[in-house]
Amino acid sequence: MIDKTATSVKPTSIVAIGVGNRMRKYLTYVEQHPERARLVAVVEPDEIRRKAVAEKFEVPEDHCFNTYDDFFASDIDVEAAFICTPENDHYRPCMQALDRGCHVLLEKPAAQTPEHLDAISKKAREVGKEVCICHVLRYHPCFIKVKELIASGKYGRIISITHTEDVGLDRMCHSYVRGTMNSEKGNNPMLLAKCCHDIDFLLWLSEAKCVSVSSYGSLLWFRSENAPEGSASRCVHCDIEEKCPYSAVDLYWWRREWISNFDIPEGKTLDDVLRKELKEGNFGRCVYHCDNDVVDNQVVTMRMDDGSLITLHMDIFTQRDGRTTDIKMTGGEIFSDGKHIRATHFASRECSTFEYSSLNSNPFHGGADLRLVEQFLNAVRGEGKVKASTTIDEAIRVHQICLEADESRRSGEMRKLN
């Protein structure tokens, strides 16, 4: 439930930088709570998106910008910046926002190098502003309950955690084979791009410090040498498209899934846009003939300073789309699939279950995206006892583990963390 009791004198003024898929979710909170936040400026190079958001929030034209450099060169005063630019462009706008004295809600990954992460943290301390990273799992009631069960002490101490992120075929083909996050060049390794959420969640559960990490993984399947006979460079020209589990025609045209990011220009229909995309766009390409290089399978093992072991599996070849967490403890075991939790107490043989599946029909990651914004605003406005979770300082460790694990995957060597 969103806390509607929090009140304040005037709404926090916000600039939205990068108004794509993620920002639209965070701005829903602003739309629902005009008394708490007000959008006063928009930065977005895509004209259709910029205009749509400006119109919806009644942002005047002279408060709309193509680039964040232009916005930060203006004298428009805002208290907070929401930054949801593509994942290789977070550091610069974040530093500029802090320089302007803004609090920052920053999409993950916070930055791509340890030096940049440290610089953000240092700057945030210097100017005394919040930088909250959008590691949204920690704002979801089911994941919060898992944390509470561990923290209760009833089940003893953690010996091991086995956690699986099922990225799933559709998401993989859309985002990491055909889409913008398909390449490490200029972007990020899969771990940082996708599993930083999981590493953040696991560190939060464990509270121990990770002392070493090892990882294996590769791009095993979505490679040109695996293209079946009869396939073509585009699904619309492919003889075996109807039998292919990765067909773009099936995903976008017939099932109408993963289409929310296809903008529809004025005078065009969704069908026009999909036809064009399938014929000419990146999302119409055969999965064996994309310029992708990110892994399609990866395992990470973390050794913690209390001796416990945490293992993360990133799985693609599944129709599941979600996370399972299996926690083995000295006095019991806790299992969660993100919808249900089962906690078993060894001595009493008591088994408790908790149900969250109804949240799955809630948009915005079961409401977690909205809670994240709320908590950020609470912290910015000095309201409530709770500070923003998922701070830049916690994110530094998460990012370090992701980067070191990927180094281990490449080198085949275990990496020690200091």
Q: In terms of CB distance, is 35 or 69 closer to ligand NAD?
A: 69
Residue 229: half-sphere exposure toward Cβ, Cα within 13 Å:
0
Q: In terms of CB distance, is 45 or 245 closer to ligand NAD?
A: 45
Q: How many Å apart are CA 162 and CA 135, to the nearest integer? A: 19
Residue 60 Cα distances to 11, 24, 219, 231, 317, angstroms: 18, 18, 47, 50, 47
Q: In terms of CB distance, is 155 or 258 closer to ligand NAD?
A: 258
Q: In terms of CB distance, is 87 or 165 closer to ligand NAD?
A: 87
Q: Rounded to the nearest whole angstrom, what is the least distance from the CB of residue 87 to ligand NAD in the complex?
A: 3
Q: Rounded to the nearest whole angstrom, what is the least distance from the CB of residue 314 to ligand NAD in the complex?
A: 15
Residue for token pair 């583990």: 401
Q: Rounded to the nearest whole angstrom, what is the least distance from the CB of residue 115 to ligand NAD in the complex?
A: 19
Secondary structure letter of residue 132 according to DSSP = E
Q: In terms of CB distance, is 70 or 242 closer to ligand NAD?
A: 70
Written as six digits, the tokens of 8 are: 């304040």
> Which amino acid is it at 183?
S
> Which amino acid is it at 305?
D
Number of other residues whose CB lies within 10 A of the CB of residue 58: 9
Q: In terms of CB distance, is 321 or 383 closer to ligand NAD?
A: 321
Which residue's CB comes closest to ligand NAD?
A: 20
Closest to 276 (Cα-Cα) out of 292, 259, 255, 289: 259
Contact set with ligand NAD (CB under 6 A):
17-22, 43-46, 49, 67-68, 84-87, 89, 107-108, 134, 136, 261
Q: In terms of CB distance, is 87 or 337 closer to ligand NAD?
A: 87
Residue 210 Cα distances to 199, 203, 302, 325, angstroms: 10, 8, 6, 18
Q: In terms of CB distance, is 21 or 218 closer to ligand NAD?
A: 21
Q: How many Å apart are CA 405 and CA 415, to the nearest integer? A: 7
Residue for token pair 């073509």: 232
Q: How many Å apart are CA 275 and CA 252, to the nearest integer? A: 10
Q: How many Å apart are CA 151 and CA 207, to the nearest integer? A: 10
Q: How many Å apart are CA 310 and CA 383, to the nearest integer? A: 35
